[in-house]
Amino acid sequence: MIKLAVDAMGGDLGSSIVVQAVLNYLKTNNDVEFHVVGKLEELKLLEGKAILYDAKDVMGMEDGALTILRKKETSMNKAVELVANGTCDGIVSCGSTGAFLTLSTLKVKLIPNVKRAALGTLFPTIDPDKFVFMLDLGANNENNGEQIAKFAEMGQIVYQSLFDKKDVAVYLLSNGSEDKKGCPEGKEAFQILKEKNYDWFKGNMEAKEVLMGKADVIATGGYAGNVLLKSIEGTASLMSKLMKKAFKKNPLTMLGYLFASSGINAMKKHIDPTKGGGAMLIGINKVCVKAHGNSDARAFQTGIEFAVSMIQKGICQTLKEKYE
């Protein structure tokens, strides 16, 4: 049975959504033993259903590195420690990304020969049966070419392990598809990957193409990756709001919605950002999944499912075997 640590505090909507997510998961699954860390008075519904740990403090979104290390009694620190000491196989948290990265790196440790972890997750594409794996989505503000090239390598391994696909197509995010396009660190990563003569490295790809189904993996530095992530989320939200506004314009457009609603709802379900559930810190020794800070119960449950899938697929072990 998988043992999963859950940080119940730190999210925008409080512990209640985490409790509900765990309960919802347990309604249809019995493959996980949950170790939930938070204020015990807020976790009462999980008594008898999960192993509970008391934590009175929460990690702040603006806490610096020294503060993060000093705050021993936070739910995040205690939950990460459960993974570091071998009690649990992985963790899900919707707390501060910076704190989660710092604690995971220092306590759970990086895989040998990996210098930086990257946040990576799956995005739906125009093909309803295909996802693209993107990393780094914001674990780092600055990356050099060597690190981005390593992200590409790790992304290829993750995608191959998840989907049992041999001919994985990996691209670097760039401002043009030509070989000489890109920022300095992107050009450096391109050169490193080209010199290694990887069959799976296909070159550069523009942002407008990343969801078109051609790429299996998109690798980039954390700053550009986070901008891309927020742009995708914002565009999806804009499309949804514009459609609602257009169909409410007059009785005729409302009638049109009745005829088109099944197709529209199918599209909304396909591009639903909660499908991804969260992003995993690729390069850490064990599965560490960062759920979105404003996750509701449904999104957090999807984060749990994502973490369970990564553990079942042995992603971290496969990466360790590659780099040790």
Same domain, 161 and 198: yes
Model pTM? Answer: 0.90
Report the SS3 class of residue 36.
strand
Domain at 177, CATH number: 3.40.718.10
Instruction: Please give the pLDDT value at position 62.
Output: 74
Same domain, 184 and 227: yes
Same domain, 176 and 143: yes
Same domain, 305 and 256: no
Instruction: Please give the pLDDT value at position 273.
Output: 52
Cβ–Cβ contacts within 10 Å for residue 214, how many?
16
Same domain, 287 and 269: no
Instruction: Please give the pLDDT value at position 119.
Output: 97
**Does residue 90 belong to any structural domain of this protein?**
yes
Cβ–Cβ contacts within 10 Å for residue 90, how many?
26
Structural domains in the chain (count)? 2
**Does residue 278 belong to any structural domain of this protein?**
no
Question: How far from the centroid of its chain's Cα atoms is residue 249's Cα?
Answer: 37
- Structure token pair of residue 198: 């990887």
Q: What is the mean pLDDT of each run of 10 residues along the chain (324 residues)?
A: 95 91 96 97 96 90 75 93 98 94 96 95 90 94 96 97 94 93 95 96 96 96 92 78 72 62 59 68 98 89 95 96 87
Cβ–Cβ contacts within 10 Å for residue 279, how many?
27
- Structure token pair of residue 42: 């807020």
Residue type, 237: S
Report the SS3 class of residue 198.
coil
Give 38-72 as a DSSP string: E-GGG-GGGBTTBEEEE--B---TT--HHHHHH-T
Instruction: Please give the pLDDT value at position 252.
Output: 64
Instruction: Please give the pLDDT value at position 257.
Output: 57
Same domain, 50 and 182: no
Distance in Å from the first CA to the final CA of the chain: 27
**Does residue 162 belong to any structural domain of this protein?**
yes
Same domain, 165 and 253: yes
Same domain, 103 and 128: no
Measured distance CA(4)–CA(314) in Å, rounded: 14
**Does residue 99 belong to any structural domain of this protein?**
yes
Instruction: Please give the pLDDT value at position 140.
Output: 93
Same domain, 44 and 107: yes
Cβ–Cβ contacts within 10 Å for residue 68, how many?
21
- 109's CB contacts (< 8 A; 6+ apart) are 84, 284, 285
Instruction: Please give the pLDDT value at position 267.
Output: 58
Same domain, 22 and 105: yes
- Structure token pair of residue 235: 């565009």
C-beta of residue 130 within 8 angstroms of C-beta of residue 213: yes
Same domain, 166 and 61: no
Instruction: Please give the pLDDT value at position 50.
Output: 97
Q: Which residue's structure tokens are 């409410």?
A: 248
Residue ending a domain, among 273, 291, 306, is: 273
Q: Which residue's structure tokens are 């709001």?
A: 241
Question: How far from the centroid of its chain's Cα atoms is residue 125's Cα?
Answer: 16
**Does residue 100 belong to any structural domain of this protein?**
yes
Measured distance CA(136)–CA(219) in Å, rounded: 7
Measured distance CA(102)–CA(106) in Å, rounded: 6
Residue-number span of the structural domain to which 208 is assigned: 121-273
Same domain, 259 and 301: no
Instruction: Please give the pLDDT value at position 61.
Output: 73
Cβ–Cβ contacts within 10 Å for residue 117, how many?
27
